[in-house]
């Protein structure tokens, strides 16, 4: 494993910033630097799954990754953007303004290679549908913490169906109180109350869609 | 069958807290006014505009459920100015949201990085006295009058509510809350920023918490004494709002430094004053459970919201701390009465075994909980007896 990936996995913010800057200055291909950062994020994910790291470490690694991207992105060759796993539309559903879980998942999805269209919070069903049509994203992620959010998730799934997109779009719902019962009730394909597991499920979706 | 009255319900509640088996497992709903208002066709906006009407809905739903064993006295008066609560931005239905949407707290950075230094210098109380007028856009000169007026009004209203519960023969055990310093700072800085603060400037965060804790203890004790709850009509208690410090969010080394020492200080100070600490756990605290054995036996109540493994909690806290919970929000809002009854029976069988258990909801009753599910919960506690006591 590279020094950069190790530094990111160790959440050593200063060392990561120094190494990224040195590599950019030395003319190292930006895509390979990005891939080293992603390897570091993968280690963080493994440590989270094994119980060594907690949500806070996912958050810190995500923030470090975001800082890296600010430096790396301008150097990615024109026309050759970072490789993406899949496009994805994400948002907290109508009537709910909780953003913490969604924002964390957004960063983790970006680090994993998804092109995420984050619609923010309190998102109407038709806004989700319009974005799915506009971007042709095959994955929809909906977040919510309050129990009334379950109704909004259900309405959104119905709106996706009404737009004739249901067989083209994989749907995942997530949130602190989202359970299997909720997943079934709203008509989602998968559910989770764990951000990183949500990312893994989206990776499975991306594989199925290839 | 014995006649239910204040004394019989109080004895049942007290037995559970004392880790004894009473005549049956008590059932207590953390019933705010949101569900009763939704159920009675009162909008969530009206709940804020007409708290007396909202409280009436709580009493009506209580009666229609056939009553339960203990109640909180709090009406849904706004706690915006309460120094023990995080000064988050509140979105009020009918004002900032559609009239029947539930109230929501917006997690944005209301405390800045620089505020840490101010809190360290001034302590929490003096900082908040300066901060609140700025935060609310009020004339600082009017602030003390405003907060005093509000406190007087809220105490008067809550005492009226307590009187009604007394007349109904229902003990009151839960009135108000205090955020632990970690919870307060995390919600006021916002979770990601606070997490980065702990990563980047841990010593400053710790110094800030040190500067907050005495004020939080002092204000908490005063607020409980102001309410004047005591036996035989109720139990003086204070809830500690605990969500962000647990292992769902942070590793144990963070918990041990930034959450647990302050929790212990709050708990010990409350117990010294005869106040029962209620540790209100949101999210998954399973890994943190062994620490609870460091707290005095039989003096606290811990509430779980369905994310912590309540069965593991029983294994660890058996004969040490009363457990309350944990019928989940999703089960109450989406499940059937049969499913609720089955889960309540499981809780009574396993968590209730040997005493020290109060059947309750996970966190508080959700706005769209089905009435029949709450009824199933209350009826199961009243009618079901586990095989061991048959």
- For residue A177, the domain's CATH number is 3.40.50.280
Q: Per the CB < 8 Å rule, is B330 touching A150?
A: yes
* Host domain of residue A145: 87-209
Average pLDDT over residues A121-147: 95
Sorting pLDDT into bands at 50, 70 and 90, what band is B280?
very high
- pLDDT tens-place string over residues B230-247: 888 899 999 999 999 999
State residue B74's pLDDT score. Answer: 56
Determine the Cα angle at A110 with ends A108 and A116, to 5°.
115
> B299-344 pLDDT, tens per residue?
999 999 999 999 999 999 999 999 999 999 999 999 999 999 999 9
Which among B91, B191, B366 has the least Cβ separation from residue A147?
B366
Beta-strand ranges (E) seen in chain B are 71-72, 89-91, 104-106, 172-174, 177-179, 237-242, 276-281, 301-304, 322-327, 357-361
User: Based on the domain organization, do A124 and A48 belong to the same domain?
Assistant: no
The answer to whether residue B320 is domain-embedded is yes
CA–CA dist A55, A47 (Å, integer)? 11
Residues of chain A numbered 145-204 and touching chain B (CB < 8 Å)? 146-148, 150-151, 176-179, 181-182, 185, 193
Same domain, yes or no: A98 and A177: yes
**B368 interfaces chain A, CB cutoff of 8 Å:** yes
Q: Residue A80 domain-assigned? A: no
The per-residue pLDDT for B184 is: 93
Examine the pLDDT at B78 and tell me if it is beyond 60.
Answer: no
Peptide bond into B326 cis (omega under 30): yes
**Distance separating alpha carbons of residues B62 and B53, to the nearest angstrom:** 14
Our CA-based measurement puts residue A62 at a distance from the nearest CA of chain B, in whole angstroms, of 10
| Inside any domain, residue B81 | yes
Give yes or no: residues A40 and A114 share one domain. no
Q: How confident is the model at residue B368 (pLDDT cuts 50, 70, 90)?
A: very high
Please tell me whether residues A164 and A200 are part of one structural domain.
yes
Q: For residue A39, which phi and psi values (nearest 5 degrees)?
A: -60, -40
Domain end among A75, A102, A123: A75
A151 and A123 fall within a common domain: yes
Domains of chain B: total: 1
Which residues, listed in sequence order, are joined to residue B236 by a DSSP beta bridge? none
Question: For chains A and B, what is the number of CB pairs under 8 angstroms?
Answer: 84
Residue B1 within a domain: no
Judge if A128 and A204 occupy the same domain: yes
CB contacts, 8 Å: B373 with chain A: none
Does residue B265 fall inside a structural domain? yes
Q: Are residues A141 and A187 in the same domain?
A: yes
Mean pLDDT value of segment A139-160: 93
Asked if A58 contacts A48 with a C-beta cutoff of 8 angstroms, the reply is yes
Would the CB atoms of B195 and A56 count as touching at under 8 Å?
Answer: yes
Q: Is the pLDDT of residue B257 over 80?
A: yes
- Return the pLDDT at B75: 41
Considering its fold, how many domains does chain A have in total?
2
When pLDDT is cut at 50, 70 and 90, the band that residue A80 belongs to is low
Q: How far is A161 from chain B (nearest CA, A)?
A: 22
- Please report, in angstroms and rounded to a whole number, the separation of the first and last CA atoms in chain A: 28
* Minimum-distance CB partner of B254 among A56, A179, A182: A56
Pick among B90, B305, B334, B370 to test the A interface (most A CBs inside 10 A): B334
Chain A positions in Cβ-Cβ contact with residue B98 (cut-off 8 Å): 95
Q: Rounded mean pLDDT of A110-124? A: 93
Q: What is the CATH number of the domain that holds A19?
A: 1.10.1240.10
A205's tokens: 């979706």
CB contact under 8 A, B334 and A185: yes
Do A111 and A186 sit in the same domain of this protein? yes
Nearest C-alpha of chain B: how many angstroms from A209?
31
Domain that holds residue B59: 6-389
A122 and A180 both lie in a single domain: yes
Q: Is the pLDDT of residue B177 over 90?
A: no
**What CATH number corresponds to the domain at position B383?**
3.20.20.210
Q: Tokens 């050759």 appear where?
A: A80
Interchain proximity B106–A97, CB inside 8 Å: yes
The answer to whether residues A56 and A91 belong to one domain is no
Q: Is residue B79 very low, low, confident or very high in pLDDT (cuts 50, 70, 90)?
A: very low
Average pLDDT over residues B96-112: 88
Section A22-47 average pLDDT: 93
Q: Is B307 in Cβ contact with A193 (below 8 Å)?
A: yes
Same domain, A166 and A70: no
Interface mutation target, options A8, A100, A104, A149, chain B, most CBs of B under 10 Å: A100
Q: Tell me the helix, strand and coil percentages in chain B, rounded to 5.
A: 55, 10, 35
| Angle at alpha carbon of residue B205, lines to B204 and B208, rounded to 5° | 85
Check B192 against A53: CB less than 8 A apart.
no
Rounded to 5 degrees, φ, ψ at B330 are -70, -40
Residue A82 within a domain: no
Average pLDDT over residues B41-52: 92
């Amino acid at each position: 494993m590279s020094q950069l990936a190790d530094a990111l996995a160790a959440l050593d913010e200063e060392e990561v910033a120094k190494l990224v800057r040195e590599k950019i200055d030395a003319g190292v291909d930006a895509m390979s630097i990005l891939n080293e950062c992603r390897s570091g994020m993968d280690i963080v994910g493994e440590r989270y799954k094994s119980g060594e790291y907690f949500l806070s470490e996912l958050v810190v690694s995500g923030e470090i990754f975001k800082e890296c991207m600010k430096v790396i992105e301008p150097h990615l060759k024109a026309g050759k953007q970072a490789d993406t796993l899949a496009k994805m539309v994400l948002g907290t559903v109508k009537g709910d303004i909780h953003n913490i879980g969604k924002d964390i998942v957004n960063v983790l999805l970006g680090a994993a290679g998804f092109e995420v269209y984050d619609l923010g919070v309190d998102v109407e069903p038709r806004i989700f549908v319009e974005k799915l049509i506009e971007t042709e994203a095959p994955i929809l992620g909906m977040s919510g913490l309050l129990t009334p959010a379950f109704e909004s998730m259900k309405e959104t799934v119905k709106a996706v169906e009404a737009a004739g997109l249901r067989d083209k779009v994989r749907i995942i719902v997530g949130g602190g109180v989202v359970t299997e019962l909720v997943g079934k009730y709203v008509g989602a394909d998968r559910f989770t109350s764990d951000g990183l597991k949500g990312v893994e499920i989206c990776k499975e979706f991306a594989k199925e869609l290839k | 069958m014995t006649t239910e009255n204040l004394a019989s319900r109080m004895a049942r509640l007290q037995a559970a807290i004392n880790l004894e088996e009473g005549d049956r497992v008590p059932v207590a709903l953390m019933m705010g006014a949101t569900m009763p208002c939704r159920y009675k066709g009162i909008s969530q906006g009206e709940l804020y505009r007409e708290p007396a009407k909202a409280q009436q809905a709580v009493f009506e739903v209580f009666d229609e459920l056939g009553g339960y064993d203990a109640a909180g006295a709090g009406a849904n008066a706004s706690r915006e100015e309460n120094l023990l609560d995080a000064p988050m931005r509140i979105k009020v239905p009918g004002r900032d949201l559609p009239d029947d949407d539930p109230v929501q707290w917006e997690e944005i950075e209301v405390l800045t990085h620089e505020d840490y230094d101010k809190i360290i210098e001034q302590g929490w109380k003096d900082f908040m006295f300066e901060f609140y007028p700025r935060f609310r856009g009020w004339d600082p000169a009017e602030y003390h009058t405003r907060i005093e007026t509000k406190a007087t009004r809220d105490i008067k209203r809550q005492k009226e509510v307590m009187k009604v519960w007394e007349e109904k023969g229902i003990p009151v055990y839960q009135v108000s809350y205090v955020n632990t310093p970690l919870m307060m700072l995390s919600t006021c800085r916002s979770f990601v920023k606070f997490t980065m603060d702990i990563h980047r400037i841990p010593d400053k965060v710790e110094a800030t918490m040190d500067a907050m804790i005495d004020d939080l203890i002092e204000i908490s004790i005063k607020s409980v004494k102001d309410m004047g709850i005591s036996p035989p009509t109720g139990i003086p208690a204070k809830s500690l709002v605990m969500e962000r410090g647990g292992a769902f969010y942070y590793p144990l080394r963070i918990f041990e430094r930034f959450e647990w020492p302050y929790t212990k200080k709050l708990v010990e100070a409350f117990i010294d004053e005869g106040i029962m600490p209620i540790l209100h756990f949101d999210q998954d605290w399973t890994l943190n459970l062994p620490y609870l054995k460091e707290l005095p036996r039989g003096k606290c109540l811990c509430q779980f919201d369905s994310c912590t493994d309540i069965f593991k909690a029983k294994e660890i806290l058996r004969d040490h701390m009363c457990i309350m919970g944990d019928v989940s929000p999703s089960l109450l809002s989406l499940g059937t009465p049969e499913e609720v009854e089955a889960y309540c029976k499981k809780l009574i069988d396993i968590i209730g075994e040997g005493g020290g258990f109060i059947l309750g909801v996970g966190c508080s009753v959700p706005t769209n909980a089905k009435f029949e599910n709450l009824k199933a919960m209350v009826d199961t506690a009243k009618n079901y007896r586990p095989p061991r006591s048959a």
